Amino acid sequence: MTTELTEARLRDALQRLLDGVPRKTKAAGLITLNKVNKEAGLGHSYIHKFPDFIDEAKPQIKKYNTDKKTLLNDDISLTEPEVALTESENFRVELNRIERLKDRYRHERNDAKNAKKELEKLNNTLMYRLFDLQEELLELKGKS
């Protein structure tokens, strides 16, 4: 096998993994050099004979893995992700989104309850003060 052909196989394998349509490995998980090597159908650690390819592939792999980790963790993205996710990873992203919405709802509910209690306290204080002022007014009217 010539080096150009092998390097082309590595590039094709990397692109398939980035696109989320691998043929020889699972689409789930992060991309590693070993995964690219397996996807290309090469022997153990054969990829390391191509340092130029490794230098070119590492930034792409790092960006893909960072984007995927960000998606899987908690960040809400309004744009279509560039990272292909498996069905289970999509479920996990959706579950995380639902949990964040529930937490936000609980927080807003608790804030509303606390605001209601504060308003009730203020209202009761003002009502009592109004009652005191009415009593004082009646006393002043009665003395005059």
pLDDT digits (tens, 9 = 90+) for 80-129: 556 667 788 888 888 988 999 999 999 999 999 999 999 999 999 999 99
Q: What is the pLDDT of residue 78?
A: 45
Segments making up each domain of the chain, as ranges: 3-85
Long-range contacts of 93-99 (CB under 8 A, 24+ apart): 96/72
Q: Please report how many Cα atoms fall inside a 13 Å half-sphere around the Cα of residue 48, on the Cβ side.
A: 5
Cα(68)–Cα(46) distance, integer angstroms: 26
pLDDT digits (tens, 9 = 90+) for 37-81: 999 988 888 999 999 999 999 999 999 998 888 877 755 554 555
Determine the straight-line distance between the first and last CA of the chain, rounded to whole angstroms: 116
Which one is predicted more confidently, 134 or 72? 134
The 3-state DSSP class for residue 71 equals helix
pTM for the model stands at 0.56
Tell me which residue of 32, 26, 16 sits closest to 86, measured CA to CA. Answer: 26
